[in-house]
Structure 1
Amino acid sequence: MNSSFSELPLPPAQLENLEQIGYREMTPIQAASLPLTLAGQDLIAQAKTGSGKTASFALPLLCKLNPRDFGAQALVLCPTRELATQVATEIRRLARYQANIKVVTLCGGQSIGPQIGSLEHGGHIIVGTPGRIKDHLRKQTLDLSRVNTLVLDEADRMLEMGFAEDIGDIISTTPTSRQTLLFSATYPDDIRRLSHRYQSDDVQMIKVAPQAEDQQIEQLFYICQPAARREALLQIIAQHQPDRAVVFCNTKASVREVTQALSDAHDDALALHGDLDQRERDQVLVQFKHNSVRLLVATDVAARGLDIDDLPAVINYDLPRETEQYVHRIGRTGRAGKSGLALSLFTDKERYRLDAIGQYLDREVEFEAVETLRPTAASLPPPTFVTLAIAGGRKNKVRPGDILGALTREGGIEGNAVGKIDVLEHVAYVAIERSQSKLALKQLSNGKIKGRKFKVRKLSLNRNRDQRG
């Protein structure tokens, strides 16, 4: 299968842009899907987050755009605000070869007023969540009658979240002549029904099997007694001392219990599950990305779309019910040529899941009893950074450089003590080395950013309550 973008019927300016932004070779999902999507075919593609699927639908929809028509010509539906933001950002990068292409993001958790104002000036590509798109259709602030490309990204997750009716209502407002591209990590019966209902009869299906790269990911399995599972988790964490890890549980109740157990054992941990509101979710994710917390405890649904660079370890507190989900989970570590660690707990009643994983990976899976680990009471060291939240964001014209300047030039903080800086719509987050965090909090609280004073607070690990500065 061809892996060069130059073999595709793309404009020369786009090929040059792809080279400039680092798209050297097609990923397996791109190589399998782009010849079909660029030819106008409807597509159902089974592929996970991180596989390069955004380009698989962004490149063909960009080729069809009429830049002089500011009506919505493409619609991308995503399950969460984080994924919609990631997708919109990537589409903007891929659209650089054309002038004045407007991508509008419409998601819940944000004020609808500014979105309405943005839509009044038109938008070529709409990226959003089903609930908020439905809100705009109800208010008649969004017209989808000229959409020629519809994308359902992470369709299985949208159905899991109960968006089936909203999706149907939204699709009913688009032309039947559209191209419909459906991407899903799994392919259950409800996805088949969705495809049958909204895609053409000659829809093409492709599946790119997720690969667990053995040479990059060390996979270790530990059998434990059901009543001792939490203690076993503490033991394997103490034994392996991961710098950061995502701990996967099968239920929201387990997420809460495990997070509490870790916190009781003095291992900083935050929970990520479906009951969090958008602000809480943003704060959990930013602290984990900033290395301000070492352990993130999550369900599969909550973690879908979560893309963490350089994640050292994944821990399966529960083995997933679906074998493919195991490969999706551990594929979050060991990326970009780096080594990763996957630790899994299971009980004797779950041996069948372990056997299924071995069959899927086509190798014999070895395991050991957690009791064979040498006893240790060591907890993880404190996280390297502390995250500060600043009550000003893009709407206040705050940029990362402004925050860095306020800390280093005016605040006297060493530049290497400042970690990641994330500027959102109305809030900004900055990671500060723990030893410098009190000074940084004081300087930002008493000083100014771009000549203005903003409230600053330290994000707390205690249920994410803010600690005022």
Structure 2
Amino acid sequence: MSKFTDLGLNEALIRAIEDMGFETPSDIQQEAIPVLLEKETDLVALAQTGTGKTAAFGFPLIQKINEQSRTTQGLILSPTRELCLQITQELKNYSKYIKGLNVVAIYGGASITEQAREIKKGAQIVVATPGRMQDMVNRNLVDITKIEYCILDEADEMLNMGFYEDITSILSHTPQEKNTWLFSATMPREVARIAKEFMYDPAEITVGSKNSGSENVQHEFYMVFGRDRYLALKRLADANPDIFSVIFCRTKRDTQSVAEKLIEDGYNAAALHGDLSQNQRDLVMKSFRNKQIQMLVATDVAARGIDVDDVTHVINYQLPDEVETYTHRSGRTGRAGKSGISMVIITKSEIRKIKAIEKIIKRRFEEKSIPSGMEICEIQMYHLANKVKETKINHEIDKYLPAIEDVLKDLDKEELIKKMFSVEFTRFYNYYKDTKDLKATGQPVANNNPADIPNDGDVRYFINVGERDGYDWRSLKDFLKETLDLGRDDVFKVDVKESFSFFNTDAAHAETILGFFTDFKVDGRFVNVEISNKTGGGGGRERRGGFKKRDNNRNQQRGPRSGKKPQNDGNRNFKGRRRNR
């Protein structure tokens, strides 16, 4: 492969590249840089997250900019504040030997007047989030009528986040004769629409297959019942002691809940979502980059700015609503030439999504079983042994050795080793010794014959709780959605009677629902769900009065790291809780 010196870059850039330790260009850099340097052209470049796209457009942009002029010549739009700041810092590093070249970041959450002041001082390159840039254009605080280059970075993500109107409005204020460079991981219809409307005969570069996943990422899925999703997450973490991961949830609420449970169970975890203040987000990301946080639980939007090369695992606690989003999630690992693993925790009803994702990323998933308790104990024991072997001796301990040897003098070598390893091993053994297998396949499915479960259409269920248990149609629907991790419209036709109720779901959810209620108790009695022969139904009127809502988080078992007394992770003896009127 060519070196950077062969790509046509000037001496100032080569010096900066050498300072940063870059030796060989990535595929996207090798393809894009010569094209952008040799001619004035529009460009559509498709490449995965983490493949070096910033340098692919950053090097040519810096080389083409006239640093003698204070006019804004280059505009880069990126989806999030974090990515905006990251691109700005990288461009400053690339241009360190070019005197007079200024790069300014424009983003929400900071003083707009201060940002406008920085631009007026002379900013040849502006890096901005679409929302803040649109605001500044509307206030006449920035002039982009003379820009020569416009770069849309992570274009698909900007559009997924609802920035289409902002982007088109911003582009309408730029000159027609500019060059537009569009970089994206995927090519959905909206991105193609932008290219068609605002670009002229663009050159096209695709690194790997279009919309494909990185070859450095291994894809795995683990099938469990919905109620066991969190327990499965903990086992995956315990089975990978050196895990440094991003865990993806669909909603801010789930993100916060999972992070809080992990912290309570003794894991080094934190949440990253849109409800955090900017200062909180900055602190979380600083801790994650410094590896003080091992497990970062994030929403898709909040994770856009994560650019950490050493992430070992991406865990999809829940699959995204749009299957294309999986490409961005898995792109958080396997970066900078390193290998990574993308894990997906699914229920049986979601297996069709795995097939859809495989078509998009053009990679096969490997189905794996959640490790058993004893497998985890074995992994942890050997991990500890290797850790002891590789630990460098701190000779400050030498002065304490006589006292330590006196305490341990009655122990022979074998007994000493057993005792030392039992300190760590016993915690995991006591926690996992009586736990069940979490794999969904092979477990009983309620009281229905699997052959009787419909393959398509709607399924109507009978459940042996009703008004007597404090439910009306709305509270029962909410309980089923939250407990079974279903979407807003997945539960319908809820009909609550005095001592029992009916509800409907799509047939795809049947096995998950029936499996969940195989061994489910409320106040000491079993709650049964069966497929009903009754075909009617409809949401009843909301009744006055309070209702019970089970707290599905209360009995989540304390993890082996928490130091709290463990419970059997197969137990589902939930207590009811009455909501005040």
Question: Shared topology, TM-score over 0.5?
Answer: yes
- With over 3 angstroms needed to count, the CA separation of the structure-2 counterparts of 1:275 and 1:161, relative to structure 1, is farther
**In the alignment, structure 1 residue 225 sits paired with structure 2 residue 225:** yes
Please give the secondary structure, in 2, of the residue aligned with 1:374: helix
Please give the secondary structure, in 2, of the residue aligned with 1:99: coil
Superposition pairs for residues 26-45 of structure 1, below 5 Å? 26-38=25-37, 39-45=39-45
- C-alpha displacement at 1:242, in angstroms? 3.8
- C-alpha displacement at 1:257, in angstroms? 3.4
For the 8 Å contact 1:221–1:367, the answer to whether it is kept is yes
- With over 3 angstroms needed to count, the CA separation of the structure-2 counterparts of 1:136 and 1:359, relative to structure 1, is closer
For the 8 Å contact 1:37–1:56, the answer to whether it is kept is no
State the AA in 2 paired with 1:182: L
- With over 3 angstroms needed to count, the CA separation of the structure-2 counterparts of 1:16 and 1:348, relative to structure 1, is same
For the 8 Å contact 1:29–1:53, the answer to whether it is kept is yes
For 1:358 and 1:132, the matched residues in 2 are separated by 36
- With over 3 angstroms needed to count, the CA separation of the structure-2 counterparts of 1:198 and 1:377, relative to structure 1, is same
The equivalent residue for 2:557 is: none
The equivalent residue for 1:329 is: 329
The equivalent residue for 2:115 is: 115
For the 8 Å contact 1:311–1:333, the answer to whether it is kept is yes
- With over 3 angstroms needed to count, the CA separation of the structure-2 counterparts of 1:117 and 1:358, relative to structure 1, is closer
Specify every segment of 5 or more residues in structure 2 that has no aligned partner in the other structure, as ranges: 381-581
For 1:328 and 1:159, the matched residues in 2 are separated by 13
Please give the secondary structure, in 2, of the residue aligned with 1:300: coil
- With over 3 angstroms needed to count, the CA separation of the structure-2 counterparts of 1:197 and 1:72, relative to structure 1, is same
The TM-score, its normalising length taken from structure 2, stands at 0.59
- C-alpha displacement at 1:191, in angstroms? 0.8
For the 8 Å contact 2:251–2:299, the answer to whether it is kept is yes
State the AA in 1 paired with 2:9: L
- C-alpha displacement at 1:371, in angstroms? 6.8
What CA deviation, in whole Å up to 9, does each residue of 1:227-262 have, x standing for no partner?
Answer: 221222222223333443211223434323322332
- C-alpha displacement at 1:326, in angstroms? 4.2
**In the alignment, structure 1 residue 238 sits paired with structure 2 residue 238:** yes
For 1:175 and 1:285, the matched residues in 2 are separated by 37
State the AA in 2 paired with 1:273: H
Please give the secondary structure, in 1, of the residue aligned with 2:204: strand
The equivalent residue for 2:151 is: 151
The equivalent residue for 2:350 is: 350
- C-alpha displacement at 1:224, in angstroms? 0.7
For the 8 Å contact 2:214–2:334, the answer to whether it is kept is no
For 2:373 and 2:357, the matched residues in 1 are separated by 23
For the 8 Å contact 2:289–2:308, the answer to whether it is kept is yes
Specify every segment of 5 or more residues in structure 1 that has no aligned partner in the other structure, as ranges: 381-469
- C-alpha displacement at 1:89, in angstroms? 1.3
State the AA in 1 paired with 2:14: L
Please give the secondary structure, in 1, of the residue aligned with 2:235: helix
**In the alignment, structure 1 residue 288 sits paired with structure 2 residue 288:** yes
For the 8 Å contact 2:49–2:332, the answer to whether it is kept is no
- With over 3 angstroms needed to count, the CA separation of the structure-2 counterparts of 1:330 and 1:135, relative to structure 1, is closer
For the 8 Å contact 2:219–2:366, the answer to whether it is kept is no
For the 8 Å contact 1:245–1:296, the answer to whether it is kept is yes
**In the alignment, structure 1 residue 23 sits paired with structure 2 residue 22:** yes
State the AA in 1 paired with 2:254: S
For 2:179 and 2:95, the matched residues in 1 are separated by 19
- C-alpha displacement at 1:341, in angstroms? 4.3
For 2:126 and 2:233, the matched residues in 1 are separated by 43
For 2:300 and 2:17, the matched residues in 1 are separated by 32
**In the alignment, structure 1 residue 51 sits paired with structure 2 residue 48:** no
For 1:86 and 1:54, the matched residues in 2 are separated by 9
Superposition pairs for residues 247-326 of structure 1, below 5 Å? 247-320=247-320, 325-326=325-326
State the AA in 2 paired with 1:135: D
For the 8 Å contact 2:244–2:310, the answer to whether it is kept is no
The equivalent residue for 1:3 is: 2
Rg bigger for which structure?
A: 2
For 1:131 and 1:17, the matched residues in 2 are separated by 32
Provide the aligned length of Structure 1 versus Structure 2.
375
For the 8 Å contact 1:224–1:232, the answer to whether it is kept is yes
Please give the secondary structure, in 2, of the residue aligned with 1:263: helix
For 2:330 and 2:239, the matched residues in 1 are separated by 19
What CA deviation, in whole Å up to 9, does each residue of 1:317-342 have, x standing for no partner?
Answer: 12456666545434433445655444
The TM-score, its normalising length taken from structure 1, stands at 0.72
For 1:337 and 1:165, the matched residues in 2 are separated by 36
State the AA in 2 paired with 1:317: Y
Identity of aligned residues (%): 39
- C-alpha displacement at 1:74, in angstroms? 0.7
Please give the secondary structure, in 2, of the residue aligned with 1:206: strand
